[in-house]
Structure 1
Amino acid sequence: MERELNNAVRTKLKNRVMNQLYDLNPVDVPKTLLTSEINQLKQQTIQQFGVVRK
């Protein structure tokens, strides 16, 4: 449980820092790069939680 809390805190902090960096330095990201990253994150989540796709 402590590990999960640490991961959640770390993720929240990272997101806040990244959002602030983006607000100060906006960049255009190609749609294909976003799509690829989204798909990769989906796969990681599926593997992490053992979700079976139908």
Structure 2
Amino acid sequence: MRWPVEVVLDLLGSGMTINDILIDHPELERENIIASLNYARILLSGQISAAA
């Protein structure tokens, strides 16, 4: 199952911890959340475009 990065960031932005998210959404793995954060960081740094 693919989760949009925006959804993962919204969950974190709402105050949920990574552990909270993993408990509520067992289909996700810690690596998925970390990958979402890394993608957002790279996107914001300008190293890739949003269309990539």
Normalised by the length of structure 1, the TM-score is: 0.35
More helix by share: 1
The structure that has the greater radius of gyration is 1
Does 1 or 2 have the higher relative contact order (CA < 8 Å, sep 6+)?
2
Normalised by the length of structure 2, the TM-score is: 0.37
